[in-house]
Structure 1
């Protein structure tokens, strides 16, 4: 079975990148996937991921 491991501080880096560019790269998307699958992230990080995904759905953040 494939293990996906989230790098420490990855969510904060993704949030900063999106705030600067208003877009998600492919590597950002893989980081978000790892975050969603990681049961050990904090509630604050989970809320940040959810907020970012809602922004994508609403069209505020573009996919590159």
Structure 2
């Protein structure tokens, strides 16, 4: 089970880091799930998450189990 402490700037930092390395890790996915479950996202954070998901669907990001 994922245990992640969610900070306000986490989504923006995660977005930049994931795009830079070109892959979405298990830890990255846990951060996203925690943010979504907490339901405390602002509109900009929702847009960033949607952009990550779009990149995965288009094959621009790889989903890995690291």
> TM class by shorter-chain length?
0.7 to 0.9
1:29 alignment counterpart: 29
Using structure 1 for the length normalisation, give the TM-score.
0.79
Residue 55 of structure 1: CA displacement? 0.8
2:46 alignment counterpart: 46
CA displacement, residues 1-41 of structure 1 (integer Å, 9 cap, x when unaligned): xxx76332211121111121111111001111112223221
Q: Is the 8 A contact 2:19 2:61 kept in 1?
A: no
The ranges of structure 1 where at least 4 consecutive aligned residues each deviate by more than 4 angstroms after the TM superposition are none
- Return 5+ residue gaps in structure 2 as ranges: none
- Return 5+ residue gaps in structure 1 as ranges: none
Quote the RMSD (CA, aligned, Å): 1.6
Q: Is 1:16–2:26 an aligned residue pair?
A: no
Q: Is the 8 A contact 1:5 1:38 kept in 2?
A: no
